Every structure is written in C-alpha cells, then in structure tokens.
Amino acid sequence: MACRKDTLLLVALLSFVTFYVRAKVDIDMDDTVSVYRGDPAELHCRYSFSEEPSMMMVQWFVKYPNGSRERISYRDLTIERVDEGTDYTDRITVAGDSNSETLTVLTVKLSDEREFFCQVNGMAAGNGERKTHLAVFDPPEAPVIEGVHSGISVSSHLLSKIASCEARKGYPRPNITWYRDETPLIPINGEINVVTLVTREASGFYTVQSELQYKITKEDKDALFSCKVSYFVPGDVRTSASQDINITVHYPTTNVELWRELPKGLVKEGDTVEIRCQGDGNPPPPYTFNREQQPEIELDSTNGQLVLHEVTRRDSGVYQCRTLDLDTEEDVVGNMHLTVHYLDPAVVVPKDSEVMSKGESLTATCNALSSLNTSTVWFKDDREIGRGHMLFLEDATFDTAGEYVCEVSVPTLAGFQSTGSVHIIVQGVPKIKDAENVDMEERAGKWVNLSCEARGYPRPIIAWSIYGTQSWREVLNRVTEDSVQSLVTLKVTSDITAICNATNDMGVETKTHSIKSMSMVTPAAKFQAEGSGIIIVIIIICILLLAILGSVLYFLYKKGKLPCGRSGKQEIINVYSTAEKPNKEDIVVEMKAEKTEEAVLLKGVNGDKKPMNDQYIDLRK
C-alpha cells in the first residue's frame, strides 16, 4: 500500500511538471492483438519523447469487467518488476529498452480477452497512455447434426422440427447456419424458422445449439439437410460443415397406379395373373382391390398385390385398387383393364365320324371360338394335309378314309391351341390289293403261301375256294378297320386253282391264283453228272436180270413147260412183277439214303406206271 501511495504521489508530481514544461511522449500500440487460446501473446508498447526525460517509468494495467483497473507490472530506470498478487503475477514477463516495452502473456486464457494499458511517464519530458485489446480465439468442435427420426407429414399446418445442430466449445461465439441441398436457409416467416440457444460455460466457452423448423413439402423427401458452423479465427472466418441428413417425409396418396406384373404379354385362360398397385403416397397406405362392377366385394390381396389363379374369360374386366386419403377422407382409385383370352375346343363338322361312298366329295369344317385370330391346320396320320378351317375331300377312295385332326392355334399366343377330329369312312366294294390274277409254277410237293388282302367298307370277308389239293389251311387272318388280309399255305400236289373271294354288303371281288405243278425232270442233268456209279450198278443189275431171265427161259424150255399162248406171256409178266418187287424195294431204300430224287428216277427207269407222288409219299412213310 505504501508503495502505491508513493507511486500516486509521483504521478501527480510528474503531471504537474509536464503541464508546465509542455514536453510530450508519443506512444504506439496495436489496437488489437489476436491469439489462439493457449498460445503466448506479445503486446508491444513503443514510445518516444520529444525531450530526453531525466527519469522515466513504464507501467502495464488491465481493466476488469467490473470496471476496476489494476497494475500488473512496473519499470523505471533502476527496477523492473511484475506486481505480486494479481491475476497475471505468474503468467507475464516484461522486457524493455529506452523506447519500447513488450508484455508477454505466456499462455493466454479465454479470460485474458480484455484491454491492456501501457502508461509511460517521463516527468517533465511528458507522459501518456495507450491500450491494446487482446482478442482470444478457440475454434468450436465440429458441428453435430441430428435429424428427427419420425416421419414428418406435409399436411401439418405448423412448422415442423427437422433437425438440430450443435457446435460445442467455441470462442468467440460461433454462428450456425442451415442448408438444404447446399442452399442456405434464410428464416422466412411461416416457412423457415431457426431457434438458437447459446450457452456460455463457466470456462468461458460458447456452445451454440440451433433447431431448424421448416414447412415441409413433398419435394423435401429427397433433400439433404446440413448445418454449418462459422467461427472467427485470428484474421479470418472459418466454417465447418456437418454431415448431410435426409428426412422421412409423409405425404398423402393422390394417385394410385395399377399394372399387371405377370404374365408378360397377352393373358390366356388358365394363367396366373399378378396385379400390383402402387400409390404416390408415403408411407404406402393399405390398398384394397375390387372389380369395377362389384365395388363392394373386396378381393384378397397382400401388400398391394392381387393374384388371380387360373383365370377364365369371366375374369376379364376392370380392376380397381383404392386407398383412403387421410387428409381429404376421399378414396383414391386406380383402374386397370384385364383381358383374358380364350380358345374353345375345336368343333369339327361332320361330327365324330362320317361315311362316304367311293367317289363322293365332302367338305369338313373346323372352328374354335376364340377372342383372338386363329389359324387352323389339318393333319392326317401326323402329316399336315391342309390349312384353313375348311377341308375339301374330293373323289373319295379307300385312302381317303381315316382320322382327320384339325389343330386350331393362336399365332399371337404361343402354346394356346385346341384340336378336334373327324373319322372318315369310305364305303365301297371290296378292293383286293394286287387284284390281277396270278399264274405261277411250283414244284410238286412244295408248300406255297398265298396272300389275299382286301380293303372295303364294311370290312370284307375273305373266303378261299381251293381246287386241286386238300392240304391247305389259313395261317393268318389279319383285320384292320377297313381291310383284311388272309394268308393260306398249301401243298402243291397237282395243278391248283385258289380263288380268293372278298365280299361285303357292297359287292365282291375275286382274285385267282393258278399254280401249275411241275414234274420233277429237271434233276436229270444232275443225275448224269453224279450218277455214273449208279449207272454201272444198274447195268450190272440188268445183266444179272437178263441172265436170270435167260436161265429161267432156258430151264422152262428144257422141261417143255413153256407155253406158246397169251396166258404164257401173262405169266411171265406176273413173275417179273412178283420177283422184282422186293429187289426194287431194297434198291430204293438204299438209294433213298443218298438222294430222294434219284430214287424217284430209278422207279421211272424201272417202268413203274404208278403216280409218282403216291410212290414218293409211300417211300417216305
């Protein structure tokens, strides 16, 4: 306190002296010094006297918010000291020479933002005081934005809170501005409002909270909102932006659309049809489906999807999807027309089956009722025979008979077809296949097959009349609807006539097979080639026979028993016959083992006049 009194006294004295001397001092200081919190701040005080002072004193003062001034340092020509017991005692240094002095605040605190006074006293040489404002800066943390999570309805008549934004711990006070898709949102009465809450913490920092209130429209559903915080730094203004957020906008449905999802293309009976309904509202409201002619009947659907299974033409018509607009309390309706195409079974005229006479003509028609243009193709035996819904059958033959299938299809709708058929019967006199009479030659004893095949309607019956052999039988009788085939096998014993008689109600046709039996002469050549041995045997036998005959004749002649009439001749023949029979048998059996034909030939040589065939069969027995 004593020190202070001394100082005040000194100041008063100096002022008094200065007043009379009119000498003066010029002091130069920065108006403002800007530093970040925590950095050191240097405050310079430069002075110059018009007259060299005999003594001099430099003091630094601060001014508190409560208005009181306090000295924080003192220097004269002899001493230099920081005042004890002030807020700055441990945080400042002062250094000076004859015309300047620098006060250094080592680590600047937010509370250091104030005015610092530099007072220079030179007694008679003059005195003065200047000040510097120390500005302190500390950027806020990055802004944090938080959108509202619930959907916001456009039908609200008040402003709705969209989002809040917070910038914490800044100094000096930062500002928050709002953006929608990079466009700043300036508060407009009734449309945009920004509510700002600034909090000054005990530490001196500012925290700014801002809330955006906004009149939402449907267009905002895709908009991005953000906030930016702007803050001062030494010599500049900086900004820092928040993330973008989107918001859920609820808006009523004003329009619903209905479309067919499945199947693509045309719809035919039997298809499964999937109809979808979508409105332009958010969130999607519940939809109901109905048919236009039955508005009161609600169709079963899930999530705006209506599925119609196995549709028929009765399902054709207008389908509606509706939802309630909660604002206007009115139904919003969408329409869609569904066409189910159909193709009825093909109807063929004449129906089922039709009997034609040979040579007749007939026109068959095939029609299938359809909602689309159709094309008709006729088939017989899987072969295409005509196109168009009429089929002309002219000059019918048995080949005309058969199953006629018409296939009606829809070219514009693949896989959509129906078929019908008619059975054509051609009535007529039996017609034998290869009807010309047959002449043939066959070796005797051979089995021969004769075939007779006849067509006709009603189906003919085949009867055989076979002359010349008893050995025959029918081995096959195959019938189809309009044909019959008969096969007989017969043994050629002599010339044969086989007549095939095909008969039906309309008439009869016959075919004659004439078989000429061939005698077995042909093997003679063979005999000459192979049979020289046999000839020798035969010659020997003949010689033997002649020798025996000569002996007998001679014996009879000697005994005088040889008669000279007819009866004697007859006897000779009888003897010959009876004597030779067993021999002949023996030879034949022997021959047979070698070759049947040769045995037969031998009998011929022997002059046997019996029918060859009979003998042949006997031998075989």
Nearest approach, Cβ of residue 423 and ligand NAG (Å): 28
Interface residue with ligand NAG among 198, 241, 508, 612 (CB under 6 A) is 508
Q: Which window, 3-11, 100-108, 141-149, 228-236, contacts ligand NAG (CB under 6 A)?
A: 228-236
Q: Which window, 387-395, 498-506, 601-609, 612-620, contacts ligand NAG (CB under 6 A)?
A: 498-506
Contact flag: residue 463 with ligand NAG (CB under 6 A): yes
Nearest approach, Cβ of residue 150 and ligand NAG (Å): 11
- Pairing state of beta strands 115-121 and 92-96? unpaired
Asked whether the bond before 611 is cis by omega within 30 degrees of 0, the reply is: no
Nearest approach, Cβ of residue 291 and ligand NAG (Å): 25
Return the residues of window 535-574 that contact ligand NAG according to CB under 6 A.
none
Backbone φ/ψ region at 505: left (φ over 0), alpha (ψ -120 to 50), beta: alpha
Contact flag: residue 342 with ligand NAG (CB under 6 A): no
Residue labelled with tokens 């004859």:
98
Nearer to ligand NAG (CB atom), residue 175 or residue 288: 175
Q: What is the 3-state secondary structure (H, E, C) of 421-463?
A: EEEEEEEEEEEECCCCCEEEEEECCCEEEEEEEEEEECCCEEE
CA dist 363 and 388 (Å) reads 12
Interface residue with ligand NAG among 16, 64, 557, 576 (CB under 6 A) is 64
Nearer to ligand NAG (CB atom), residue 74 or residue 289: 74
Contact flag: residue 576 with ligand NAG (CB under 6 A): no
Contact flag: residue 512 with ligand NAG (CB under 6 A): no
Q: Which window, 12-20, 503-511, 534-542, 572-580, contacts ligand NAG (CB under 6 A)?
A: 503-511
Interface residue with ligand NAG among 237, 524, 541, 617 (CB under 6 A) is 237
Tally the C-alpha atoms within 13 A of residue 220's C-alpha that lie toward its C-beta. 21
Contact flag: residue 175 with ligand NAG (CB under 6 A): yes
Contact flag: residue 230 with ligand NAG (CB under 6 A): yes
Burial of 188 (0-12, 13-18, 19+ CB in 10 A): exposed
Q: What is the 3-state secondary structure (H, E, C) of 183-223?
A: EEECCECCCEEEEEEEEECCCCCEEEEEEEEECCCHHHHHC
Closest CA to 118 of 104, 102, 129, 106: 129
Nearer to ligand NAG (CB atom), residue 153 or residue 503: 503
Interface residue with ligand NAG among 50, 102, 493, 503 (CB under 6 A) is 503
Nearest approach, Cβ of residue 613 and ligand NAG (Å): 19
Contact flag: residue 153 with ligand NAG (CB under 6 A): no
CA dist 506 and 484 (Å) reads 15
Residue labelled with tokens 């456009």:
154
CB atoms within 10 A of CB 148: 15
Nearest approach, Cβ of residue 351 and ligand NAG (Å): 27
Give phi and psi for 252, each to the nearest 5: -75, 160
Q: Which window, 15-23, 230-238, 303-311, 562-570, contacts ligand NAG (CB under 6 A)?
A: 230-238
Contact status, residue 320 vs residue 334, Cβ threshold 8 Å: yes
Task: Give Cα separations from 209 to 71, 178, 198, 241 (angstroms).
Answer: 39, 12, 6, 14
One symbol per residue from 466 to 485: x for binding ligand NAG (CB under 6 A), - otherwise; what is it? ---------xx---------
One symbol per residue from 367 to 396: x for binding ligand NAG (CB under 6 A), - otherwise; what is it? ------x-----------------------
Beta bridge partners of 11: none
Nearer to ligand NAG (CB atom), residue 373 or residue 567: 373
Q: Which window, 225-233, 392-400, 534-542, 559-567, contacts ligand NAG (CB under 6 A)?
A: 225-233
CA angle in degrees (0–180, nearest 5) for 78-80-82: 155
DSSP 513-556: EEEEEEPTTTTHHHHHHHTHHHHHHHHHHHHHHHHHHHHHHHHH
Nearer to ligand NAG (CB atom), residue 253 or residue 301: 253
The residue type at 136: V
Closest CA to 110 of 21, 171, 183, 160: 171
Residue labelled with tokens 């043994």:
491
CA dist 149 and 438 (Å) reads 106
Nearer to ligand NAG (CB atom), residue 175 or residue 278: 175
Nearest approach, Cβ of residue 174 and ligand NAG (Å): 6
Return the residues of window 416-455 that contact ligand NAG according to CB under 6 A.
449
One symbol per residue from 13 to 52: x for binding ligand NAG (CB under 6 A), - otherwise; what is it? ----------------------------------------
Interface residue with ligand NAG among 155, 196, 246, 328 (CB under 6 A) is 246
Nearest approach, Cβ of residue 249 and ligand NAG (Å): 8
DSSP 308-355: E-S--GGG-EEEEEEEEETTTTEEEEEEEEE-EE-BPPPEEES-SEEE
Nearest approach, Cβ of residue 569 and ligand NAG (Å): 50
Nearest approach, Cβ of residue 567 and ligand NAG (Å): 54
Contact flag: residue 248 with ligand NAG (CB under 6 A): yes
Contact flag: residue 282 with ligand NAG (CB under 6 A): no
CA dist 35 and 95 (Å) reads 20
Nearest approach, Cβ of residue 50 and ligand NAG (Å): 36
Q: What is the 3-state secondary structure (H, E, C) of 571-608?
A: HHHHHHHHHHHHHHHHHHHHHHHHCHHHHHHHHHHCCC
Contact flag: residue 193 with ligand NAG (CB under 6 A): no
Nearest approach, Cβ of residue 70 and ligand NAG (Å): 7
Q: Which window, 5-13, 198-206, 495-503, 537-545, contacts ligand NAG (CB under 6 A)?
A: 495-503
Q: Is 289 helix (H, G, I), strand (E, B) or coil?
A: strand
CA angle in degrees (0–180, nearest 5) for 334-338-339: 160
- Pairing state of beta strands 483-491 and 472-479? antiparallel
Nearest approach, Cβ of residue 424 and ligand NAG (Å): 27
Q: Which window, 61-69, 209-217, 263-271, 523-531, contacts ligand NAG (CB under 6 A)?
A: 61-69
Interface residue with ligand NAG among 288, 489, 493, 514 (CB under 6 A) is 489
The contact set with ligand NAG (CB under 6 A) reads: 64, 66, 68, 174-175, 230-232, 237, 246, 248, 373, 449, 463, 465, 475-476, 487, 489, 499, 501, 503, 508, 510
